[in-house]
Structure 1
Amino acid sequence: MKSDVEFFEARGFGNDLGLGKNACLIVIDFVEGFTNESMPMGYNLDKQIENTNRLIKAARSSNIPVIFTSISYNNTRLEKDLLWKEKMQGLKTLIAGTNLVRVDPRLDYCKEEDDLIYKKFASAFFGTNLVSILNTGNIDTLIVAGCTTSGCVRATVVDAVQYGYRSITVTDAVGDRSEKSHYQSLFDIEQKYGDLSTTEELLEKLSTKIK
């Protein structure tokens, strides 16, 4: 009996897209509302943050732009009643101007240099200026770190390919509350939407590319 990978490969899924000409690193929602385990949306992401800092360091050395995202809500009459917040009540803690929507201070975020996109929903593309800034920088490849693998990471990767961007999801720099959801989402991403890489593999690709 064929494994899932063998079944998909036999039908032409999972082809490697590789790095394009111009990449950026996008760090999705590593904000305190998700990285603080005491919060409703939070869970342990220590290792993923450590690996993301390694990616940020390599990106800066390679002159690759870094983009951060955060989910942030204004407590206005209409925005406080967004339907997604009813589905996941913990989203109601992500209030604009609070520490819960700021980039985790353990990350090497430079507000003078890095773009920070505030979003309302899962994909970093939905309702934001991400396409505009990617096009301005002639970016064709997204290197993806962040959380959650089955949620905002996956949604961003799906939108990336739909907008014509390659993506490389760094498997040990993304995290999920559910191990099963994490690995199933990575499998789906690799078969249908983008490439996967470990931190070590990605760092090697970047070092080779700039030689």
Structure 2
Amino acid sequence: MSPAPAAGEDGFGGALPPGARPAVLVIDLMRAYFDPASPLCLPSTDCLRSAGRVVAAARGHRIPVLHTRVAYGPGGVDGGLFVRKVPALRQLFDGGGAMGQPMPQVCPADDELVLVKQYASAFFGTSLASTLRAAHVDTVVLVGVSTSGCVRATAVDAIQHGFVPLVVREAVADRAAGPHEASLTDLQAKYAEVISEADAVAYLSEDR
């Protein structure tokens, strides 16, 4: 049997050095993913505490923080096929509603942008890319849910738009360990840098 290839020898696993102008993107950390009454409720709230620490580091060093939430028009009219494939989305986010409210650990500050989206990626159908470019951002630090869904889709779109995506391992979560770990492995191989919370806080705290 041939030895396993070292990092990069199989054509994957190159490095994306973080840039000098980061922003933190808080993806869908809404009540729907943490309320036991919700069909989307996650098994742990650990990612919330980690995300809160990342956000606090950014705010403490004047790094932009942006947020996303999900909301649909009446009857999910703007949800297209997505709400047909995942009926819980229309159930929870039709017209906004309480389940779409941010969790207190990462509640947006008055001067922080909240982007409303209908699909997985924070870039799809929103002004995110133009907002980041106008602020001269080159790197997005991603925290939120879910790893295999909106976090992954946003990371893929980030690199396609020319932003370095940094996914904070402890600050993202999924419905089960399998899709969570598989997505982190694949993101690291092809689309993003998966970093620790400690490394994220250190990066955001650098002198600029």
TM-score range relative to shorter protein: over 0.9
Change in Cα spacing, 1:2 to 1:154, as seen in structure 2 (3 Å) is: farther
Instruction: Report the counterpart of residue 163 of structure 1 in structure 2.
Output: 161
Instruction: Report the counterpart of residue 55 of structure 1 in structure 2.
Output: 54
Deviation at 1:136, TM superposition (A): 1.1
- What TM-score does the superposition give when structure 2 sets the normalisation length? 0.92
- Matched residue type, 1:54: R
SS of alignment partner, residue 63 of structure 1? coil
Over aligned residues, Cα RMSD in angstroms?
Answer: 1.7
Instruction: Report the counterpart of residue 109 of structure 1 in structure 2.
Output: 108
For residues 6-17 of structure 1, what are the structure 2 equivalents within 5 Å? 6=5, 9-17=8-16
2:143 aligned with 1:175: no
Q: Distance in 2 between matches of 1:63 and 1:102?
A: 24
Instruction: Report the counterpart of residue 141 of structure 1 in structure 2.
Output: 139
Deviation at 1:174, TM superposition (A): 0.2
**What percent identity do the matched residue pairs reach?**
31
- Matched residue type, 1:115: L
Deviation at 1:8, TM superposition (A): 5.6
Paired residues, number? 206
1:136-160, Cα deviation, whole Å (9 max, x unpaired): 1111100000000000000000001
2:98 aligned with 1:72: no
Deviation at 1:206, TM superposition (A): 2.9
Is 2:170–2:196's contact at 8 Å kept on the other side of the alignment? yes
2:59 aligned with 1:25: no
Is 1:95–1:101's contact at 8 Å kept on the other side of the alignment? no
Q: Which sits farther off after the overlay, 147-156 or 87-96?
A: 87-96
2:202 aligned with 1:204: yes
Q: Which sits farther off after the overlay, 100-109 or 166-175?
A: 100-109
Instruction: Report the counterpart of residue 37 of structure 2 in structure 1.
Output: 38
Q: Distance in 2 between matches of 1:102 and 1:28?
A: 12
Deviation at 1:2, TM superposition (A): 4.1
Change in Cα spacing, 1:45 to 1:78, as seen in structure 2 (3 Å) is: same
SS of alignment partner, residue 62 of structure 2? coil
- Matched residue type, 1:169: V
1:164-207, Cα deviation, whole Å (9 max, x unpaired): 11010001100000211101100111110010111012112333
SS of alignment partner, residue 118 of structure 1? strand
Instruction: Report the counterpart of residue 128 of structure 2 in structure 1.
Output: 130
Q: Distance in 2 between matches of 1:206 and 1:105?
A: 21
Q: Distance in 1 between matches of 2:96 and 2:12?
A: 43
SS of alignment partner, residue 67 of structure 1? strand
Q: Which runs of 5+ in 1 are unaligned?
A: none
Q: Distance in 2 between matches of 1:180 and 1:2?
A: 26
SS of alignment partner, residue 56 of structure 1? helix
Q: Distance in 1 between matches of 2:43 and 2:67?
A: 19
Is 1:15–1:191's contact at 8 Å kept on the other side of the alignment? yes
- What TM-score does the superposition give when structure 1 sets the normalisation length? 0.91
Q: Distance in 2 between matches of 1:46 and 1:132?
A: 32
- Matched residue type, 1:78: V
